[in-house]
Copies of this chain bind each other. A is one copy, B any other.
Amino acid sequence: METRSRSERSADSRALILDAAVACLVSDGYAGASTLAVQARAGVSRGRLLHHFPSREELLVAATSHLAETMLTEAADRAVEVSASITDPVERVDRSVELIWATFFEPPFWVAMELWNAARTDEALRAALRPQERRLRAAIRAVGDRMWGPAITSSPRYPVVSELLFTSMRGVAIAYAFEDRPPATDPHVALWKSMARELL
């Protein structure tokens, strides 16, 4: 059966376009993610793109939402993996720090950066992003808790320390927008590990 129902075709089109939009955001940034660029990368006609996403802004907001979902399920999988395989608490702290740090160098983080930055000077985009980001942040926190595991999250210091680690990582990660060293070798990693080991 080669024929696809209307709703299937529609869903296919949207996914195709959204993936292309994400790719454009990652490789060319917010400004470079023009509707023309997305259209070309997705290999769709102008009419097809504009039919599903009437304006550029709707397209890009939908793209981040799409990406966030994809990314959260992946992160959750990794969290489960870690929580199942590592029992030694010290090693688990180290691995968690490394894994969380690594998530800052995958597409979702850079796409989020692009959108946050663009939102600063665009009230409409900011309003569209705010609720989405709040939900996402909560979901990320939950995945983080899973990754650390109950032995660690039960520590009274945990909320403060994890918050400090997370925000510090984000702060450091930004610098890699213009640095081209490999992030895994960042000197801060050792710092975070020792802090986590000491305080948890």
Using a CB–CB cutoff of 8 Å, the interface residues on chain A facing chain B are: 27-32, 110, 113-114, 116-121, 126, 129-130, 133, 160, 163-164, 166-175, 177-180, 188, 191, 195
Contact = CB atoms under 8 A, between A and B. Distances in A.
Given A110-B120, A168-B168, A174 B174 contact: yes
Contact of A171 (B30, B170, B177): B170
A171 B178 contact: no
Task: Determine which residue in A110, A120, A180, A188 has the highest number of CB atoms from chain B within 10 A of its CB, and name it.
Answer: A120
Nearest to A190: B160
Nearest to A113: B117
A170 B174 contact: yes
A176 B131 CA distance: 14
